């Protein structure tokens, strides 16, 4: 497998990863970034993470520094990290610069939901942690597993919905959710729109999805999968009438991290089931 060495070299040079000793105190900003550290068997270096870092269980127990898009500089400073691994969506930018000025090395990693960017996230994290061979092994393993996963053959129209606050948003193109559906071989009924879009009950009914895919947090906001499907608009879809809903852990479904093969297998299993999929 080609490991995109020119792109990785450019990434690492821009990040300035020349260091005398492996980092001993690391903070992760972004759930997928933190998860990669654990997947590289380097979790013992983590002294803190942002609030989206909830997997594995030990990540959830780490001291938290706020949400990665609006993290606390003071929170990071109190942990005295020698390395901060950050999704390139972390910020604001001036906050990252403050962290650098306080003496911590900051390495930003690409967040795009593509296999190329995932390779770079893993290899860049491994290089920053001074375990490059583990990074190469993890990328090789991930790609080997992905080659064994075949897209679903039967056409299936999917509406992916996020509803953490009670206001439903549908997942369009240029998102991790859309990338997941594409890799699984499903059709995103909102694929002609970009990003997360609020939508009406009438719009949900008109889209006529065969299956609704959502997250555990979204279902939790409604109380149950049955209550989620009973919402106006959703309840008028073929998916709701046939109780075809796939509910997956938020970070697993949308993190586009090292568990990508597991996420795709679970998603495909759910898409193939005629009744409610297991969480």
What digits encode the pLDDT tens for the residues 14-40?
444 444 689 999 999 999 999 999 999
Q: Which pLDDT band holds residue 277 (cuts at 50, 70, 90)?
A: very low
Q: What is the pTM of this model?
A: 0.87
- Per-residue confidence (pLDDT) for residue 261, from 0 to 100: 97
Domain with CATH 3.40.50.1980 in the chain: 5-147, 157-272
- Per-residue confidence (pLDDT) for residue 232, from 0 to 100: 84
Half-sphere exposure of 95 (CA within 13 A, CB side): 21
What mean pLDDT is predicted for residues 222-239? 89
Length of the chain: 279
CATH architecture of the region 5-147: 3-Layer(aba) Sandwich (3.40)
What digits encode the pLDDT tens for the residues 89-131?
999 999 999 999 999 999 999 999 999 999 999 999 999 999 9
Task: Give the CATH H-level superfamily of domain 157-272.
Answer: Nitrogenase molybdenum iron protein domain (3.40.50.1980)
């Amino acid at each position: 497998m080609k490991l995109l060495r020119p792109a990785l070299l450019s990434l690492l040079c821009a990040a300035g990863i020349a260091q005398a000793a492996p980092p001993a105190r690391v903070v992760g900003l972004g759930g997928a970034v933190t998860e990669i550290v654990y997947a590289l068997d380097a979790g013992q270096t983590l002294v803190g993470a942002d609030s989206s870092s909830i997997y594995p269980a030990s990540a959830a127990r780490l001291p938290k520094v706020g949400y990665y898009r609006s993290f606390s500089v003071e929170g990071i400073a109190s942990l005295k990290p020698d390395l901060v691994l950050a999704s390139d969506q972390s910020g604001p930018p001036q906050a990252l610069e403050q962290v650098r000025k306080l003496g911590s090395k900051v390495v930003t990693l690409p967040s795009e939901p593509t296999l190329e960017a995932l390779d770079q996230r893993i290899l860049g994290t491994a290089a920053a942690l001074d375990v490059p061979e583990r990074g190469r092994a993890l990328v090789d393993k991930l790609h080997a597993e992905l080659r064994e996963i075949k897209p679903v053959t039967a056409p299936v129209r999917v509406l992916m919905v996020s509803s953490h606050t009670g206001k439903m948003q549908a997942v369009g193109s240029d998102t991790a959710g859309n990338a997941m559906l594409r890799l699984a071989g499903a059709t995103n009924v909102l694929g002609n729109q970009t990003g997360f879009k609020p939508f009406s009950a009438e719009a949900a009914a008109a889209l006529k999805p065969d299956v609704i895919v959502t997250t555990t947090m979204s279902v939790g906001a409604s109380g149950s999968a049955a209550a989620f499907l009973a919402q106006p608009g959703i309840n008028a879809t073929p998916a709701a009438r046939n109780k075809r809903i796939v509910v997956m852990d938020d970070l697993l479904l949308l993190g586009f991290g090292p568990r990508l093969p597991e996420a795709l297998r679970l998603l495909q299993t759910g898409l193939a089931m005629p009744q409610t999929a297991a969480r």
